[in-house]
Amino acid sequence: MKFEEVIGQETIVSKLTRSVKEERVSHAQIFAGPPGCGKLAMAIAFARYISCENRQDNDSCGVCRSCVKYKKLMHPDLHFVFPIINKGSGEAVCDNYIEQWREFVNHSPYFNLNGWLAKIGVKNQQGLIYSSEAGEIIKKLSLKTYESEYKVMIIWLPERMHLSTANKLLKMIEEPPDKTLFLLVSEKPDLILPTIMSRCQFIRIPSINREALAKHLKTEHGLDEKKAGITARLSGGNYLRAVEFIEDNEARQSNLNDFIRLMRLAYKRDIPALAEWSEEIAARGRELQKSFLSFSLDQLRENYILNNTGKDKSSELVFLEGEEAAFAKKFNSFINNKNIAGLNTEFSTAWSHIASNGNPKIVFLDLALKVAGLIR
């Protein structure tokens, strides 16, 4: 992670690079900010900059010995602490998860606690930095540096730290080993021990500004100008949310395509093609199948209302736009008093069957045939 890979946040970057050039890097810093602002990305880029052997004006060089190791997050003087769960076998320490952590962060340093816990296969359990971690921290920092001037310890979500660990960390921050840099990356700094807070330099990282986020969505996610602008605005400068919006949109588009195909084939009563359609849907995961069925129920409702409120497209009851609206314009006349109840029942029943582990091949083939009977 270089500074140039952090989305936006130029002001913070220049503040940090200046502190290095002017040799007044505070040995303990808290990078705090809202979800999806890039605080972890920033901390890693900063650590890499400090450790770079051929620092450029505004970024690390990317090619020196240190940068090469940083790129894989495998520098011997770079240490990570982050919430994990206690599996009950052996000590609950971050090193047990370090490979998964590196892989996850390298994939993208923009994530939240839920994302990380899902990565390590945790459901319904809280991630913590356990008391057993304190010894690890002390051990790692009492080693002399291997290759860099600084040892860097990045602590992600210090607010999830066991009190005894926090107290030991406090001692280390108060009397730091030589050339050690603590970077605490926090989402809820008000939950950090006040005594730690008061000894750290506090760097507030704001939400990503709209222009920078829109630009990133355009270049990295292939959104067009308009969509990038809207997504950046709706997400409030939270990159995680922006990605969610994009994924939602993709899911919606895919559901719409499946819905249109089903309706066309049902209208033509093309049984072999309907069977093929149902096989395709049946091959997907259950959550996707449920999402498609809910989406279809919404579409049927909207089209029925559209058909019944006549050609008054200003009706506030209809919530369709873009391609959905374009399709509905032609399609709505097929959804009427004679078939709406039946269609509604068939899609709702299919939903319940899928939710209660019914055989998707049977459920979707049955649904497709029933729709063919109802649509005209």
Q: For residue 52, state whether it binds Zn ion (rule: CB under 5 A).
A: yes
Instruction: Compute how many residues bind Zn ion; rule: CB under 5 A.
Output: 5
Nearer to Zn ion, 3 or 239 (CB): 3
By the rule CB under 5 A, 45 interacts with Zn ion: no
Stretch that binds Zn ion, among 24-32, 48-56, 154-162, 216-224 (CB under 5 A): 48-56
Structure tokens at 40: 């972890």
Q: Does 137 bind Zn ion (CB under 5 A)?
A: no
Residues 8, 24: Cα–Cα separation, whole Å: 24
Which of 64, 98, 120, 138 touches Zn ion by CB under 5 A?
Answer: 64
Looking at 54-62, 72-80, 173-181, 265-273, which segment touches Zn ion (CB under 5 A)? Answer: 54-62
Tell me if 87 sits within 8 A of 77, measured CB to CB.
Answer: no
Q: How far apart are CA 98 and CA 173, in angstroms?
A: 23
Piece of 65-73, 100-108, 118-126, 230-238 that binds Zn ion (CB under 5 A): 65-73
Residue 253, both tokens: 């588009």
60 binds Zn ion (CB under 5 A): yes
Q: Where are the beta strands (DSSP E) in the chain?
A: 28-32, 78-81, 151-156, 180-186, 201-204
Nearer to Zn ion, 49 or 347 (CB): 49
Report in angstroms how near the CB of residue 44 gets to Zn ion at its nearest.
14
Compute the least distance from the CB of residue 165 to Zn ion, in Å.
Answer: 32
The per-residue DSSP string of 352-372 comes to: HHHHTT--HHHHHHHHHHHHH
Contact region with Zn ion (CB under 5 A), list: 58-66, 153-161, 197-205, 329-337: 58-66
Distance (Å) of CA 216 to CA 6, 26, 62, 106, 336: 10, 31, 21, 18, 45
Judged by CB under 5 A, which stretch of 59-67, 152-160, 241-249, 359-367 contacts Zn ion? 59-67
Three-state DSSP class for 113? helix
Asked whether 207 and 11 are in contact (CB, 8 A), the reply is no
Q: Which residue, 60 or 186, has its beta carbon nearer to Zn ion?
A: 60
Q: Is 61 in the site for Zn ion (CB under 5 A)?
A: yes
Residue whose CB is less far from Zn ion, 74 or 191: 74
281 binds Zn ion (CB under 5 A): no
Half-sphere exposure of 30 (CA within 13 A, CB side): 24
**Min. distance of Cβ 54 from Zn ion in angstroms?**
5
Smallest distance, Zn ion to C-beta of residue 325, A:
52
* Distance from C-alpha of 114 to C-alpha of 62, rounded to nearest angstrom: 31
Closest CA to 60 of 3, 105, 145, 6: 3
Query: Is 67 among the residues that bind Zn ion (CB under 5 A)?
Result: yes
315-343 b/e (C-beta count within 10 Å ≥ 16 → b): eeebebeeebeebbeebbebbeeebbeeb
Segment near Zn ion (CB under 5 A); pick from 14-22, 32-40, 63-71, 162-170: 63-71
| Smallest distance, Zn ion to C-beta of residue 143, A | 22
Q: How far is the CB of 40 from Zn ion (least distance, A)?
A: 20
Q: How far is CA 320 from CA 157, 231, 256, 315, 334, in A?
A: 41, 18, 12, 11, 17
Residues 6+ apart with CB under 8 A from 53: 61, 64, 65, 66, 67
Smallest separation (angstroms) from Zn ion to the CB of 10: 20
Sheet with 201-204: strands ordered across: 78-81, 151-156, 180-186, 28-32, 201-204
CB of 75 to Zn ion, least distance (A): 11
Closest CB to Zn ion among residues 49, 331: 49
Least Å distance, CB 50 to Zn ion, is: 10
Stretch that binds Zn ion, among 46-54, 90-98, 110-118, 209-217 (CB under 5 A): 46-54
For residues 62 and 229, which CB has a smaller minimum distance to Zn ion in the complex?
62
DSSP 240: H
Shortest distance in whole angstroms from residue 176 CB to Zn ion: 24
Phi, psi of 194 (to 5 degrees): -55, -30
Q: Residue 45 or residue 155: which is nearer to Zn ion going by CB?
A: 45
Judged by the rule CB under 5 A, the positions of this chain that interact with Zn ion are 52, 60-61, 64, 67
